[in-house]
Amino acid sequence: MREIIKATLLLFAYSLLLCTQLQAQWQYGGIQISGHNFSEDLTAISDGNTGIFVAWRYYPQQFDPDIYVQHLDSAGYELWPHEGVPAVIEPHGQYQPRLALDDSGGVFVSWTDLGRQGPYPDIYAQRISASGQRLWGDTGLPVIVRDGDQSFPLMVADGAGGAVIYWADSYPPDTVCVVAQRIDRQGDPLFGPYGMRMTTPRLAGQSISGLLRSSDGNMISCWFDYRTDGAGPGIYAQKFSALGEILWDSNGVPVIVNSASYENLKFGATSWGGLYCLWVSSGGIYFQWLDSAGQTGYGPGGIWKVEENAISDLQFTVDPDSGALAVWLHNYSIPDPDVVYAAYLDTTRTQLYWFALPVVARGARSLFSLTQSAPGEFEFGANDGSGDGLKAFKYSFSQGLLWGDSGVYVSGGGHSGTRAHGVGDMTGGSFFVWQPEGRYVVRANRVYPDGWVVKVADDDVNKPERLALFAYPNPFNSSVTISYSNLSGGEIKIYDIQGKSIRTFALEGGEDGKINWDATDASGKRVSSGVYFARAAAPQKEKTIKILLLR
């Protein structure tokens, strides 16, 4: 009986792997997932597997917008009805959609709801199942409904099947305070009927900036505070637990105070339970970090000023070892093209490396969505200033630009885009969603880990020769053979599901070959059952595949 069950599990796992190898629907210039006119407020997140959730607001007849959501798989197929699933069916307007994963393959959606309960905006939420069903009724559930403005929500998954929502609340009247609420799987509030304040309401006002889930399971909120008492105006942060306990100072801790201006604020959670922050001010880029107790690492003014003028489109991410990477545009005067620069703050937080990326973007007009795709590798998008469209670039600390100094076209030549977002595909590539320039529809595309995108619509014959990587048997229970072609030199690395390197195989000989992995780590110790990734890499080439070990 045990062998029958094991064989059944192997067959089921193999069928799942085969499903990921279906012919892609992706087309030249991406696919259109919303043909609605007047679609705006575009947002997207990974589905936690190899797909993506996308949300947008749509203005029927240009009045009272509705929120729609779509789920795409790795091949570009719509898993829900074409044009998306409405998060709410209600005659008043919905704005500012936000997404967070549930723990059952579905997604939470939150938004600002205007006019349903009177003249003030309120916050509502919906949970949509993996099959695209609205689980909290057609009208959603209220997160906060009362006098005063409640708007601009942010949302993250709470790690326990629910979500945390964060907004600016103007109650009592003539004050503003940043507030958080946690909801469970059923949509029930866990922080009381009106949420939990991060600090004292102030006449001068507060505006939300960021919400992060900390590595210790708590939440960190960030906001700009116009306070005139205490440390003065600036950026503040607060940590709070899943039980609704305030863990830092009751009025928040200052990240940076009394600076002349703050632009392009970016935040990132760290592996030590703290926070990275960077911003543009007085002609430079500033870094700051907080430890798990809320103490600043660089003093009240921040440090590591990157001396640059004309900075725009600052993008930021934190790697698993808690180094920090930023990229931005340096806007030189016309006719010189804009230059993409990067800065890396190492894991000791004492060394800052600043360098120009040899990117050929003909004067990029904007950057977007810096994400980590693999250990030591990062991807970002650029809107080409020549009008040639959206491009994607991939940078490796060890190998430089992996997709070439001209990048790869995402939207197709001659098709620029706006409101673009990039989301990692969990395999080393990225999804991109955007709105074409001058149009109010939503399109999406995928760049595979080796930089390949569909070059000609529905024409697989014209795919460029690229690295091939196969594993057999897969799943396996003792050893697996990994064969490769079109790869000269380089290496194959095995990673676990957490992204930790398990084993490295240096490749020698010709472009075609194979290696055998006996399911042991570098020290010869047998590894446990689970999902692993085999990644082959050489200059200008890379590919990652998933393998499954079942002992």
Query: Can you give the pLDDT at residue 375?
Result: 74
Would you say 208 and 152 are in contact if contact means Cβ atoms under 8 Å apart?
yes
Q: Spell out the SS3 assignment of 393-452.
A: EEEECCCEECCCCCCEECCCCCECEEEEEEEECCCCCEEEEEEECCCCCEEEEEECCCCC
Q: What is the pLDDT of residues 31-66, one digit of tens each?
A: 888 866 666 788 999 998 889 999 998 876 556 788
Which residues, at least 6 apart from 462, have a Cβ–Cβ distance to it below 8 Å? Answer: 455, 456
Which residues, at least 6 apart from 525, have a Cβ–Cβ distance to it below 8 Å? Answer: none
Residue closest to 163 by CA, chosen among 189, 182, 179, 144:
182
Structure tokens at 358: 């040899």
Would you say 318 and 270 are in contact if contact means Cβ atoms under 8 Å apart?
yes
> End-to-end alpha-carbon separation of the chain, Å?
16
Q: What is the pLDDT of residues 353-408, one digit of tens each?
A: 877 776 655 555 678 888 887 777 889 988 765 556 788 889 887 788 888 877 88
pLDDT at 82 over 70: yes
Which residues, at least 6 apart from 378, have a Cβ–Cβ distance to it below 8 Å? Answer: 317, 325, 327, 370, 371, 372, 394, 395
Q: What is the pLDDT of residues 204-253, one digit of tens each?
A: 677 878 899 998 999 999 988 888 776 678 888 999 999 999 999 988 99
pLDDT at 462 over 60: no
Query: Can you give the pLDDT at residue 344?
Result: 84
* SS3 call for 536: strand
| Cα Rg of the chain (Å, integer) | 24
Residue where the block lists tokens 């393998």: 547
Task: Write down the pTM of the prediction.
Answer: 0.77
- pLDDT class for 155, splitting at 50, 70, 90? very high
CA distance 115 to 176: 20
CA distance 54 to 37: 16
Query: Can you give the pLDDT at residue 491?
Result: 87
Q: Can you list the domains of the chain with their CATH numbers?
A: 468-549 (2.60.40.4070)
Query: Can you give the pLDDT at residue 544?
Result: 76
Query: Can you give the pLDDT at residue 24?
Result: 46
Q: What is the pLDDT of residues 281-300, one digit of tens each?
A: 776 788 889 999 999 888 76
Query: Can you give the pLDDT at residue 47?
Result: 92
Cis peptide before 475 (omega within 30 of 0): yes
Say which DSSP state 456 is in: S
